[in-house]
Structure 1
């Protein structure tokens, strides 16, 4: 994380969304919106790096889109997709081939027969009817569901890129479920835990927030020594570790709090706004 360059002014501030940049109700506070916009005016680029899929970012265009420059781009799906929110175009997709995804889902559902399964792809979500929807009523959700197809995942089309596999069983505790899914998965994917109860989020090998953020920065000539990153959950740890300064919000998972270079106020107290505002604006 921290390096000898840690005190240098960053060229880029990267932030997770849920539990970090967004408040607990999924909204963006006026203060956070003000500071996030002001950073661009101060010569500091910003990018969101989120587990959310492309379809669930459109209502946040004031934060992650709305201009025809780097600020219209979001890294989403835990690094599976690079998405231009302004143009609503998936620029990059990194994930499983559909046949591989179908095989993995089949193995996991045999191991967890009461679970529901879904996949996030470059063309939206495909989900089994048993997959529980816990986001009804949250900001942006009810428009995002227009890109959801209910089907048996054995029917998944062959011309998709599967960015993320989702397995959810609400009867399981988080730690036990993640541990058992990890054992079943082996080295066939990367299991990310973002805090949702009874949910395992699986990316293809080598696909993480950190890998995609590093590649995105390299394309723009931005070295890790010039990047600050904010997060709250274990799926943010590789990104916080890669950045020169990894900052945990006060409400973060205990593992993230222990590993981060620094801490800021909680998401409901606009921590991701106040921390750079005091240091950069």
Structure 2
């Protein structure tokens, strides 16, 4: 990673949400909210960069930003979407065309016949009936927009963008499932592991958190050396590697801990907030 010097202040702080900025119950602590909001007054921009789809961000507007400015925008879906949370508008979509997604899902479900499949699109989630959506009914998790019955998701409208393909089979161990899906996938997509058991999240080739964050910074004239990024899981590694300073929370995956430039306390101890408060506020 490109290390930034200790006496250099960042122009932008980027953070993952689950397992990093949020506590384990998915909440925003008062301390984290206080520090995150204070960064703008200290001249530091912020952006969240998350695997969550747009529909899972609405109840987090206090962190993402409830006002209609740059702070109301999130990079989500592992880089597939740039989303204005305040106005609920997808500003950018980067993903698979529906036909490509249908073909790829069909191949994966033939390889993993007991798995369920879903796709996150710029209009919400579509899923096969075998896909166990564990978050239906939870606060802040808007329901899926459609259920389909066949393995190729033939009911997907042709004019939407598929940001992520999700394949879930809870009977598999995480490492084995990720390895076998990666082999089946080949060069047709990017597999990101964010910690959910038996779940493979697949983005289109070239779509990662790092790619979209780099583009975000380029639009604002911010160089990578002026970016601090925080994360906890392997899908955060490209972003942490790209940033001038990549920081892992103490509860992070062992690969992230090994690769990070620095560490902070765990998410349940407001690690990101305390790290930023000591150095920037």
What is the TM-score normalised by the length of structure 1?
0.96
Please, what is the CA RMSD of the aligned residues?
A: 1.9
CA drift of 1:273 comes to 0.4
- Residue 41 (structure 1) shift: 1.1
In structure 2, stretches of 5+ residues that fail to align are: none
| Contact 1:116–1:167, Cα closer than 8 Å, also in 2 | yes
1:111 aligned partner: 111
Q: Distance in 2 between matches of 1:146 and 1:87?
A: 23
8 Å CA contact 1:129, 1:151 repeated in 2: no
CA 1:142–1:55 in structure 2 vs 1: closer, same or farther (change >3 Å)? closer
Q: CA 1:120–1:126 in 2, change beyond 3 Å: closer, same or farther?
A: same
Q: How far 1:141 moved relative to its partner?
A: 1.7
1:119 counterpart SS class? strand
Change (3 A) 1:241 1:199: same
Structure 1's 192 and 40: CA in aligned 2 closer, same or farther, altered over 3 A? Answer: same
How far apart, in 1, do the equivalents of 2:147 and 2:251 lie? 31
Between stretches 137-146 and 183-192, larger displacement belongs to 137-146
Report deviation, 1:135.
2.2
For structure 1, list consecutive stretches of 5 or more residues without a partner in the other structure. Answer: none
Partner of 2:142: 142
SS of equivalent to 1:251: coil
Contact 1:5 1:225 in 2 (8 A): no
Q: CA offset at residue 151 of structure 1? A: 9.4
Per-residue CA deviation, residues 165-213 of structure 1 (Å, 9 max, x unaligned), is: 0000000000000000000000000000000000000000000000000
Seen in structure 2, the aligned counterparts of structure 1 residues 274 and 143 have a Cα distance that, compared at 3 Å, is: farther
CA distance in 2, matches of 1:2, 1:32: 26
1:253-280, CA deviations, whole angstroms, 9 ceiling, x for partnerless residues? 0000000000000000000100010000
Q: CA separation of 1:142/1:73 partners in 2, compared to 1, >3 Å: closer, same or farther?
A: closer
Provide closer, same or farther for how the CA distance between residues 132 and 143 of structure 1 changes in structure 2, counting only shifts above 3 A: closer
* Post-superposition offset of 1:2: 3.1
Question: Does the 8 A contact of 2:105 with 2:151 survive in 1?
Answer: no
SS in 2 for 1:196: coil
Q: Offset of 1:216 from its aligned partner?
A: 0.3
Deviations 1:90-134 (A, max 9, x none): 000000000000000000000000000000000000001110022
For residues 31-90 of structure 1, the C-alpha deviation after alignment (integer angstroms, 9 at most, x for no partner) is: 000000001111101100000000110000111021222101100000000000111100
Distance 1:173 1:81, change over 3 A: same
Deviation at 1:147, TM superposition (A): 11
Query: 2:24 — aligned with what?
Result: 24
Q: Is the 8 A contact 1:55 1:147 kept in 2?
A: no
Contact between 2:174 and 2:198, CA under 8 Å: does it hold in 1?
yes
Instruction: Classify 1:31/1:151 alpha carbon distance in 2 versus 1 (closer, same or farther; 3 Å).
Output: farther
* Contact in 2 for aligned 1:21/1:272 (Cα 8 Å): yes
Shift of 1:145: 7.2
Q: Distance in 2 between matches of 1:245 and 1:159?
A: 39
Q: Please tell me whether the aligned partners of residues 27 and 139 of structure 1 are also in contact (alpha carbons under 8 angstroms).
A: no
Aligned residues: 281
Q: What CA distance in whole angstroms lies between the structure 2 residues aligned with 1:186 and 1:272?
A: 35
